[in-house]
Chain A
């Protein structure tokens, strides 16, 4: 039955590779959603159903919608697609790609050389996570709440369009 994990892992890797090579932002976003769904399947297989649901709801739902709205507001056209095509020549990505592949090969060798103890996979459901979250990690929850508040205020302040100070008649005069 482990074949399910390997299929989901393959889907995740292929779709993530498609994300970083697409020229069109919306296509990349669709592949990114596929990748997140594949990771969610892996979470479910590994006995973490609560986190699998959170992955679909928060990542594939909320955060991706936020990025879609940003793409709509930016309104990137054909010109930017052409420019991206120019940048995606092999000489720009072959160097980092080879270096990262070497690191990956080393890591795979290291992970394969230690033998894990074989045991049955237990399910850790939402109750266990909630008990741990609000007893051991209560301070972390409060810090996360503060960070979200700062994020909301910061995003509003940065994204806020500055109002022009002068009157509209003066603005018309300036245009002439």
Chain B
């Protein structure tokens, strides 16, 4: 396999994580927020795999499998919550959920 420098891989993971973070901070559509969360989880998994490849251990990939499991559980519960939000408020705009504001 091709040797990839570990700092380049970690840099890519950082860039992807920050793009996901920007998405979470700027979007108001809760569906896009969920997608950005997926991007961030994926970037964290990429960092684990890069580290595992750097030290030639299988632990990084094991951690990626755990992250994958967590992402699947998170997205299923999150989508159920979005469906309930759409059912009650007829919108997916997070600004509408301001019950705790005053």
Chain A residues with CB under 8 Å of B20's CB are: 16, 20
A19 touches B39 (CB 8 A): yes
Kindly identify which residue among B25, B29, B52, B81 contacts A124, using a CB–CB cutoff of 8 Å. Answer: B52
Kindly identify which residue among A12, A96, A151 contacts B26, using a CB–CB cutoff of 8 Å. Answer: A96
Q: Which residue of A lies closest to B50 (CB)?
A: A46
B35 touches A74 (CB 8 A): no
Interface residue? B8 (CB, 8 A): yes
Chain A residues with CB under 8 Å of B58's CB are: 124, 128-129, 131-133
Minimum CB–CB distance from A63 to chain B (whole Å) comes to 5
Which residues in window 140-176 of A have CB below 8 A to B?
140, 144, 147-148, 150-152, 154-156, 158-159, 161
A-B pairs, 3 with minimum CB distance: A151-B73, A159-B80, A20-B23
B positions within 8 Å CB-CB of A: 1-12, 14-16, 18-23, 25-29, 31-32, 34-36, 38-39, 42, 46, 49-50, 52-54, 56-62, 64-66, 68-77, 79-84, 86-87, 91-93
